């Protein structure tokens, strides 16, 4: 295959929400630890996260919410990070990933992105006039040796992967909570289908493993077959 094998790995509620609300002040990483009956088993998601691929895909918007533009980087990681971003990362956010990641690949359509002003041996930039995820993934494998990639982005970018048939596996940790709200981000957001002619854009899954975890959590793993 000319691109990396990709796995969508996410924590979600039983109703498919990946956030606790409809603004950036609400976030599962900050909010679920506050909820009795949910926080007790939350560590299992983070434990599983430590076993995912050594290449990780995310977005600047998600990382901005996580505070990378303001905080100091942790100790050097063996993980290489791929970030899709046009305007959310500041120069300090770019340097955060350069300091933390084994390899840092930025995908951007912004010619004025602050990453162009940062010098670091492990920083690589894939510039595209218009975002083309398939082409970017091909570059990741061909130029940087990325064979397997874990995707942990937001619902809108997840929808781009889905519609372009770029997911090979789906790995979900389901927290025992219902969140609700039509404007709260879900596992797959983006444009809704509007006619039956678009049904081939659906992602058809085959269950490969279902594990009952502690404290009413589940882990569901699928192979994408269509």
Mean pLDDT of 5-18: 98
Greatest alpha-carbon pair distance for the chain in Å reads: 50
DSSP string, 59-108: EHHHHHHTTTTTSPP-S--S-EEEEE-SSS--HHHHHHHHHH-SSEEEEE
Check residue 50 and give its pLDDT. 97
Check residue 16 and give its pLDDT. 98
Contact between 50 and 189 under an 8 Å Cβ cutoff? The reply is no
What length is written for the chain?
Answer: 226
Contact between 132 and 160 under an 8 Å Cβ cutoff? The reply is no
Check residue 177 and give its pLDDT. 98
Check residue 40 and give its pLDDT. 98
Contact between 173 and 38 under an 8 Å Cβ cutoff? The reply is no
Does position 24 have pLDDT exceeding 90, yes or no? no
Strands 205-212 and 218-224: antiparallel
pLDDT bin (cut points 50, 70, 90) of residue 176 is very high
Beta bridge partners of residue 121, listed in sequence order: none
Mean pLDDT across the chain, nearest whole number? 97
Does position 90 have pLDDT exceeding 90, yes or no? yes
Q: Where are any strands of DSSP class E within the chain?
A: 5-13, 55-59, 80-84, 104-108, 123-127, 148-151, 169-175, 205-212, 218-224
Name the DSSP letter for residue 17.
Answer: B
Domain limits, the chain: 5-224
**What is the CATH number assigned to the segment(s) 5-224?**
3.40.430.10
Check residue 53 and give its pLDDT. 98
pLDDT bin (cut points 50, 70, 90) of residue 225 is very high
Does position 18 have pLDDT exceeding 90, yes or no? yes
Mean pLDDT of 113-119: 98
Mean pLDDT of 48-70: 97
Mean pLDDT of 201-214: 97
């Amino acid at each position: 295959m000319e691109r990396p094998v990709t796995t969508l790995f996410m924590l979600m509620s039983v109703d498919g929400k990946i956030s606790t609300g409809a603004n950036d002040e609400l976030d599962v990483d900050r909010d679920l630890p506050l909820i009795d009956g949910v926080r007790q088993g939350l560590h299992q998601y983070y434990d599983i996260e430590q076993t995912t691929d050594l290449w990780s895909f995310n977005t600047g918007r998600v990382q901005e919410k996580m505070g990378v533009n303001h905080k100091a980087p942790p100790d050097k990681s063996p993980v290489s990070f791929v970030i899709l971003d046009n305007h959310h990362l500041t120069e300090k956010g770019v340097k955060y990933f350069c300091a933390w990641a084994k390899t840092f690949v930025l995908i951007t359509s912004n010619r004025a992105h602050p990453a162009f002003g940062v010098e670091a041996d492990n920083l690589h930039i894939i510039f595209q006039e218009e975002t083309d995820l398939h082409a970017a993934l091909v570059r990741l494998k061909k130029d940087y040796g990325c064979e397997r990639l874990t995707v942990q982005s937001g619902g809108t970018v997840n929808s781009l992967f889905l519609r372009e048939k770029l997911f090979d596996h789906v790995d979900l940790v389901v927290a025992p909570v219902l969140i609700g709200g039509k404007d709260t981000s879900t596992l797959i957001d983006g444009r809704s289908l509007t006619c039956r002619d678009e049904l081939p854009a659906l992602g058809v899954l085959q269950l490969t493993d279902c594990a009952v975890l502690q404290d009413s959590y589940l882990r569901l793993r699928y192979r994408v077959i269509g």
